[in-house]
Structure 1
Amino acid sequence: IEIFEIIVRYALEDLLRVEYKDMPVLIVESVLFSKESRHAIAQLMFDKFQVPALYLVKDSVATCFTSGRSSGLVVDVGHYNTKVTPVHDGYVLASTITSQPLAGYALSNQAIHTLENELNLNIVPSFKVKSKRPVGLNEPADYDQVNTMVTNTFHSYHLHKTIEDFKACVLQASESAYNEVFLSQKPNKTYEFPDGFNTSFVTERYRIPESLFQPKQFLLPPPQDGQAILSLPEMILKSVNMCDIDLRANMLSNILITGGTSLLHGVTERLYYELTNYVAANKVKISAPSSSIERRYGSWIGGSILGSLGTFQQLWVSRQEYEELGVSIIDRRCQ
């Protein structure tokens, strides 16, 4: 909660430059937040920041509002986690949520593992490159290095930034199950690393994202301690099957895909292909915003839409209600 306080203070004081006591605050929270975390946030906002009113909205509910819906199956393929959340009439069906750490960070680690351990490439983050000179395909990099002492966390952060660019430019989900012979005939993709080294990728482009659909066979490094990892389609079907039988068809026909990792080329199309292997094609409908901004910040946009509705004003938890009824009012009002 201390880190959250620092972020809120920076946003309100340094960026927005508003007076806390004059500004009602709507916070988009993860569906995985515990009751204790929600209470701590409410106490922080009311007791320390002295806000006049507060509301907490679940991120999956806010994502539904972005597309003008009150119900749907929200598939959030983010950085550290992938969450599948059924939402019905504006309420999260908490007992049916499926979540696991098969997301962007896992794919980044797999990309690093593939580049360094399988292809023997040395990934040089951009902060280490002072200047570089053009070289031919697969020729050694010719660059001047910046000799700066940095912490391991600083180096790791910039290494992952480099890999994020690599993922966006190179990786693509295969249209169907990974077939190395077939995919080796696909056009290659050339990528230049920050130090100027450039090379082409073919099967690696498809093998890394395949972890989302066949993690048992393709995820590297493999899960530790025998951890069971479900594929993205398996997570969706698990959540749907935990819903009331009357809601399942509606969930499958209202799949909303969001999150930065869902922007990898071909992920939405492959997901549709996989789901229609289990369910009739006319029963599956996937909606995915074409804008990367909407995909990355869909829940934030949905929160702004919710906060601007005239009917929303009656949902605020006021300071007076908090002082009279205590933090439990958050659980009753912000479901």
Structure 2
Amino acid sequence: MNSDEIISVVADIGNLYTRAGFTGDDFPRWSTFSKCTETMQFGDEALGYGNGQVLDILQPFNPDLYENLLKKMFEKLGVQSKDYSLLLANNFQTKHDLQKVVEILFESVEIPNFFTIRNAALSTFSAGRSTALILDIGAYSTTASAVHDGYTLLKTQIQAPIGGEILNDPFRQFVVGEYNQFKKTCLARDIKQGLLTYEQIDSTQQYELPDGKFVSMQQAQLSEIADKLFNSNDNFKGIQHMLLDIINNSVNDIKQQLCSTVISTGGSSNIPGFLNKLQTTLSALAPPMCKVKLVMYPSNQNRYHSVFIGGSILASLSSFQSLWVAKNEYQESGRFSIIERKCPN
């Protein structure tokens, strides 16, 4: 670590998962669900909450729960927040939500320095690139973004209200027992991950449930479920068409660069055969002069944690250290206005 480097925590707090660790870490040290119970049990603790209500922290944004999650995060990492700066991935839906979080961080959590940057840019950095076409399949939404020279081009960004969780629904029928809705969703997700594939298979897929029973599904059934991310309907045009719109709406100078650096992130990107299908469908639609090439990560974990990894890389660069927003800057420079000046989009 460079002697001038500020010691920092890196966090990616998404709608479903929270990931956190330190500058230079290859993977998060703490990963948990972005959920809590009415008694402030966070993350995995909510799974065993009987039939009680499990609360969302970001859907909709709840500042009180978010503050408690931040404090829990520093506690789980075993450090005092007043001693560690924070690089936080920016996936907020509104400027107001981010503004409130910055206020919480400086005034309640009491961090000394702060920086935030869009998820798409961090995923780009995680792959060792500065320009890329990003497909982020989240739990509840999917976002397509162009990143150029480290900046997310928000004017061309497209978001759809469909994410990987839509693929869980057909598997809920196999979940039986006295569980809260959150636990049922998690069990359905486990079954999905064990069965779903985009690869052509001749045999029936089987998955063993916790009680020892087996679930069986035919290839035709699995294909129908998996294709929900590619098929168009009244509310969703399909992920390949989202990416195509980004390409078509980008300036000619970067179209080929975007096509040749397509990065897909999120848990659904790790479904067997998904990347091959995305490559095939997007290649069939792309402009003739653009050759589509997907960026391959060393492992599924790199793809799954790409936002955190990109933040860890960025915060470790010596050239980044001057970009931190210090607490005294925040207090003396019109508060949120300094964040808007120093943190890209």
Q: Does TM-score exceed 0.5, indicating one fold?
A: yes
| SS class of match (1:26) | strand
Matched, 1:201 2:217: yes
Matched, 1:242 2:233: no
5+ residue gaps, structure 2, are 1-62
The residue number in structure 1 matching 2:79 is: 18
Distance 1:281 1:187 in 2: 40
Q: Which residue of structure 1 lines up, in the alignment, with residue 207 of structure 2?
A: 191
**1:179 aligned partner:** none
- 1:44 CA displacement: 1.1
Cα offset for 1:55?
A: 0.4
Does 2:85 align with 1:3? no
Contact 2:199-2:272 within 8 A present in 1 as well = no
Compared with structure 1, are the counterparts of its residues 241 and 68 closer, same or farther at alpha carbon in structure 2 (3 Å cutoff)?
A: same
Say which SS state the counterpart of residue 211 (structure 2) adopts.
Answer: coil
1:165-185 deviation line (CA, Å, top 9, x unaligned): 21111111257xxxxxxx7xx
Higher share in helix: 1
**One-letter code aligned to 1:210:** D
Distance in 2 (CA, whole Å) between partners of 1:111 and 1:167 is: 7
**Structure 1 counterpart of 2:332:** 324
Tell me whether 1:51 sits opposite 2:111 in the alignment: yes
Q: 1:77 aligns with which of 137, 147, 154?
A: 137
Q: For residues 209-237 of structure 1, what are the alpha-carbon distances to aligned partners after superposition, in whole Å with 9 as ceiling and x for unaligned?
A: 01111143xxxxxxxxxx42111101111
CA RMSD after TM alignment: 1.9
The normalised TM-score by structure 2 is: 0.76
Q: Within 5 Å, which residues of 2 pair with 1:249-288?
A: 249-279=256-286, 280=288, 283-288=291-296
Determine if contact 1:78/1:262 at 8 Å carries over to the other structure: no
Is residue 28–residue 57 contact of structure 1 (8 Å, CA) maintained in 2?
yes
1:52 to partner: Cα distance: 1.4
Equivalent residues of 1:174, 1:210 under 8 A apart: no
Larger radius of gyration: 1
Structure 1 residue aligned with 2:35: none
| Contact kept in structure 2, 1:233 and 1:275, CA below 8 Å | yes
Whole-Å Cα distance in 1 between the matches of residues 79 and 208 of structure 2? 44
Percent of pairs with identical residues: 29
Q: Secondary structure at the match of 1:283?
A: coil
DSSP 3-state at the match of 1:311: helix
Amino acid paired to 2:330: Y
Preserved contact between residue 72 and residue 254 of structure 1 (Cα < 8 Å): yes
Q: 2: distance between equivalents of 1:266 and 1:110?
A: 20
2:236 is paired with a residue whose SS is coil
Aligned to 2:175, which of 103, 123, 141? 123
Quote how far apart the aligned CAs of 1:187 are.
2.0
Q: Give 1:302 shift.
A: 0.8
| Separation in 1, partners of 2:182, 2:301 | 22
Other structure's SS at 1:87 match: strand
Partner Cα separation in structure 2 for residue 214 and residue 281 of structure 1: 25
Q: Does 1:41 align with 2:49?
A: no
Post-superposition Cα deviations, 1:127-152, rounded to whole Å, max 9, x if no partner, equal x4xxxxxxxxxxxxxxxxxxx6xxxx
Distance 1:247 1:282, change over 3 A: closer
Aligned amino acid, residue 225 of structure 2: I
1:194 Cα deviation from its structure 2 partner: 2.8
Equivalence for 2:150: 90
Whether 1:163 and 2:188 are equivalent positions in the alignment is yes
Distance in 2, Cα, partners of 1:110 & 1:95: 35
Displacement, 1:33?
A: 3.2
Tell me the secondary structure at the aligned position of residue 114 of structure 2.
strand
Q: Does the 8 Å CA contact 1:84/1:98 hold for their aligned counterparts?
A: yes
Count of residues paired in the alignment: 279
Unpaired segments ≥5 residues, structure 1: 117-121, 129-147, 149-153, 176-182, 217-226
Kept in 1: contact 2:122–2:311 (CA 8 A): yes
Q: Distance in 2 between matches of 1:296 and 1:171?
A: 17
Q: Distance in 2 between matches of 1:45 and 1:171?
A: 40
Shift of 1:20: 2.5
- The Cα shift of 1:199 comes to 4.2
Secondary structure of the residue aligned to 1:54 is strand
In structure 2, relative to structure 1, the CA distance for the partners of 1:188 and 1:290 (3 Å cut) is: farther
Aligned to 1:67: 127
Question: Structure 1: which amino acid aligns with 2:249?
Answer: M
Deviation for aligned residue 1:110: 3.6
Contact 1:86–1:97 (Cα < 8 Å) also in 2: yes
1:110/1:230 CA distance change after superposition, 3 Å: farther
